[in-house]
């Protein structure tokens, strides 16, 4: 039912021009619904997830994709768990609960960018969240999003603009929860779409080209395109 756990994408080159391993164009046709669930790292993919829709069409040109963006900003995994059974009425998105979405594929982001103070709470809540989706009997993927900047985390006109020490400490906490989320997904045999390690430099920094200069946190257009291409080339329809 669920594919054996594997980290998908961890071997990509860590450069601005990171290449996505090419996948043969599929001749499959039909209709597929994909539900994406997470915090602002999903929310900023926008309604209908246009970058992902474009990337999917390059691989599956004959499939009509319905993409449901269940991302809500500033939410932790605890908030995410609590809204599994809530209808979504957010921005221009009105969806039934994700458990009643009838999605063919679920992509669950780590919620690491809104880290909890307690890693045990993160562990318990992420496991519960993932297990409830696994129980639906449809493919579930875990998305580890891009690595955060460190000294420049949150710096920009729309950023939090903390001092460098505070920014570095918070970004390091995000790193730890991205790693923990990957570990949890592995233990549940959930395939991992890894956008984190390919964008993590040896000095611990993220790659600036993938980060929005306005807030120093969320993916830039290039970052969203990278994530979308990674998803499109890694999931199985």
Counting residues of the chain whose pLDDT is more than 90, the rounded percentage is 88
> Which of residues 237 and 98 earns the better pLDDT score?
98
In this structure, the strands spanning 140-144 and 93-95 are unpaired
Closest of 39, 10, 70, 3 to residue 199, by C-alpha: 10
- Structure confidence at residue 20 (pLDDT): 53
- Class for the domain spanning 7-15+26-234: alpha beta
Neighbours of 26 (CB within 10 A): 14
CB 36 within 8 A of CB 70: yes
Annotate 28-62 with b (16+ C-beta within 10 A) or e (fewer).
eeeebbbbbbbbbbbbbbbeebebbbebbeebbee
Whether residue 24 has pLDDT greater than 90 = no
| Sign for the pseudo-dihedral over CA of 211, 196, 78, 65 | positive
Q: In the beta sheet, which residues pair with residue 144?
A: 194
Mean pLDDT of the chain: 92
> Which of residues 70 and 16 earns the better pLDDT score?
70
- Structure confidence at residue 27 (pLDDT): 85
Q: List the domain boundaries for the chain.
A: 7-15+26-234
CB 110 within 8 A of CB 144: yes
Whether residue 14 has pLDDT greater than 60 = no
- Structure confidence at residue 118 (pLDDT): 95
Q: What is the pTM of this model?
A: 0.91
Q: Model confidence at 21, in pLDDT bands (50, 70, 90)?
A: low
Which whole number is the average pLDDT over 116-123? 97
- Distances from the Cα of 48 to the Cαs of 22, 28, 65, in angstroms? 24, 21, 9
């Amino acid at each position: 039912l669920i594919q054996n756990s594997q980290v998908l994408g961890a071997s990509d080159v860590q450069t601005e021009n990171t290449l996505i391993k090419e996948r043969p164009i599929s001749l499959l046709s039909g209709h597929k619904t994909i539900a994406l669930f997470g915090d602002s790292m999903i929310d900023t993919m926008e309604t209908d997830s246009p970058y992902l829709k474009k990337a999917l069409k390059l691989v599956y040109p004959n499939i009509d994709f319905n993409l449901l963006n269940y991302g809500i900003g500033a939410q932790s995994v605890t908030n995410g768990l609590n809204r599994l059974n809530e209808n979504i009425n957010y921005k221009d998105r009105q969806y039934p609960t994700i458990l009643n979405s009838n999605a063919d594929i679920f992509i669950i982001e780590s919620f690491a960018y809104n880290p909890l103070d307690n890693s045990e709470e993160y562990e318990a809540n992420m496991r519960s969240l993932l297990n409830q989706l696994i129980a639906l009997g449809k493919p579930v993927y875990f998305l580890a999003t891009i690595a955060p900047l460190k000294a420049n985390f949150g710096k920009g006109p729309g950023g939090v603009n903390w001092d460098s020490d505070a920014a570095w400490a918070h970004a390091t906490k995000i790193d730890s929860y991205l790693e923990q989320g990957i570990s949890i997904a592995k233990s549940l045999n959930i395939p991992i779409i890894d956008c984190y390690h390919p964008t993590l430099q040896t000095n611990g920094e993220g790659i600036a080209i993938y980060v929005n200069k306005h807030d120093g946190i969320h993916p830039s257009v290039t970052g969203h395109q990278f994530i979308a291409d990674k998803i499109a080339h890694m999931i199985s329809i």
